[in-house]
Structure 1
């Protein structure tokens, strides 16, 4: 396997990032348009926005992405990281790419003084959960959502 480069996302990554993020949205059955993906990408580049991104590069091609942000943890008076999106091109899976992304995220946590990184996944995402069980611990929390429409 060629060496992987995991690095912060850059403006010139858009054309290669877009199909990866589109694949992520498709997997979770979230409607996504070129415009909505462009908005997300612009957030990733805007220092005034909280969302940040990493990309995984192999042989000059992007094969993965991770979007994360700082999140307060009021009960501990600490900051922590929250991983919003993680996706590896299906053709690149099976080579521990996901673990290497988590290694990079762990290092970001160390550098920023975050004691942990949290993330969510759907229950049926068994392939990803195999990875998540290796790099983290499943919490005891249940996720609830409330829409503005009641």
Structure 2
């Protein structure tokens, strides 16, 4: 891949007039994990992304008018540092655009934002089966030794 193709990718915050481009990425992300959420949750997620008083923020990767990827993250307090931690909750790149280093660039953008916010740690998780993403994650971050437990409420 040439450097020129990389320079055509623009990473920028989600904008209010971009729901029609964001929603297929969101639905693609959910479908990848074989999950679904009620339409009201999708609406609520979109509203929170646009609300500057809400902790959840989002970026999208664009090539021209085509939205190719999204990342959604939030800064939260921590008992281990003063600046808090950033949790990268959602990361998705459309299958046709994989291999263009978009996932790497989205993570890099959140890393830069996290540093600017004064966060102590940027972290995320993925499912065991997600080998493609895990190969990227092993290159850009250190795997944490923690095991996660859930109680569905």
| Fold shared, TM-score > 0.5 on shorter chain | yes
Task: For 1:138 and 1:35, locate their aligned partners in 2 and report how far apart those are by CA, in whole Å.
Answer: 34
Give ranges in structure 2 of 5+ residues lacking alignment.
none
Q: Deviations over 1:55-99 (max 9, x none)?
A: 111112111000000022203344111100000011000111111
User: Hey, what does 2:9 align to over in structure 1?
Assistant: 4
Task: For 1:26 and 1:33, locate their aligned partners in 2 and report how far apart those are by CA, in whole Å.
Answer: 13
Q: Deviations over 1:93-146 (max 9, x none)?
A: 011111111111111012111122110100100000011001101100000111
User: Hey, what does 1:49 align to over in structure 2?
Assistant: 54
Pairwise CA distance, 1:33: 4.1
RMSD of aligned residue pairs (Cα, Å)? 1.3
- 2:84–2:119 contact (8 Å) kept in structure 1: yes
Task: For 1:11 and 1:140, locate their aligned partners in 2 and report how far apart those are by CA, in whole Å.
Answer: 38
Helix, strand or coil for the counterpart of 2:24?
Answer: helix
Give ranges in structure 1 of 5+ residues lacking alignment.
none
Given the alignment, which residue of 93, 100, 104 partners 2:105?
100
User: Hey, what does 1:79 align to over in structure 2?
Assistant: 84
Task: For 1:140 and 1:58, locate their aligned partners in 2 and report how far apart those are by CA, in whole Å.
Answer: 36
Task: For 1:42 and 1:78, locate their aligned partners in 2 and report how far apart those are by CA, in whole Å.
Answer: 25
